[in-house]
Amino acid sequence: MIQRIQTLFLLGVLVLLSMLYFFPLAELIDPANISYSFLYRGIPSLTEGEAMLFKAYPVAILLTIIVLNVCVTIFSYKKRIRQIRLTVFNIFCMLGMMGLVYYSINSQVEEMNAVANYSIVNAFPLVGVVLSYLAIRHIGKDEAMVRSMDRIR
């Protein structure tokens, strides 16, 4: 499993997207010069014990689906066609999550009349799409090699 290059690509996707749980996606600065962090689950309140200012449950759910899908894809190494299908689904989910994050941040920017400073971690899903594409190519090569060996026998 781990000796295959596509598994390393998928592990890279898993690591990159897991980092989205720990780093803020953007920093919103309102006109009063108060800074809010936009996390994967929304914008937390600045004071302790209060509810969140904005809840981004769709982003959190989609990120969790993507991470779980990558885990399932990694452990489906014996079923290469399923691996390809799950990885294609994952690519569409990552692109959708990028759009959803952008929409959520911009809706809060307009509502709060703030300025958004995007973080570099917003590029991680795009890098994950590239790594997933590379994984699909290598999974396809493995499948072609296995089918050619079956033809020889």
pLDDT tens readout for residues 75-122:
988 888 999 999 999 999 999 999 999 998 888 888 888 888 899 999
Backbone angles phi, psi at 120, to 5 degrees: -70, -20
* Count of domains observed in the chain: 1
pLDDT given at position 1: 57
Nearest Cα neighbor of 128 from 70, 85, 80 is 70
CATH number of the domain within which 64 lies = 1.20.140.150
Choose between 52 and 22: higher pLDDT. Answer: 22
Backbone CA torsion sign across 124, 126, 127, 129:
positive
Choose between 64 and 55: higher pLDDT. Answer: 64
Summary mean pLDDT of the chain: 88
Nearest Cα neighbor of 40 from 25, 18, 19, 62 is 25
Structural domain range at position 39: 5-152
Q: Within 10 A of 34 (CB to CB), how many other CB atoms are there?
A: 11
Please check the confidence at residue 34 and state whether its pLDDT lies above 80.
yes
DSSP state, 100? H
Please check the confidence at residue 32 and state whether its pLDDT lies above 90.
no
DSSP state, 55? E
Residue owning tokens 């690519």: 91
How far is 74 from 14, CA to CA, in rounded Å? 9
Predicted TM-score (pTM) of this structure? 0.87
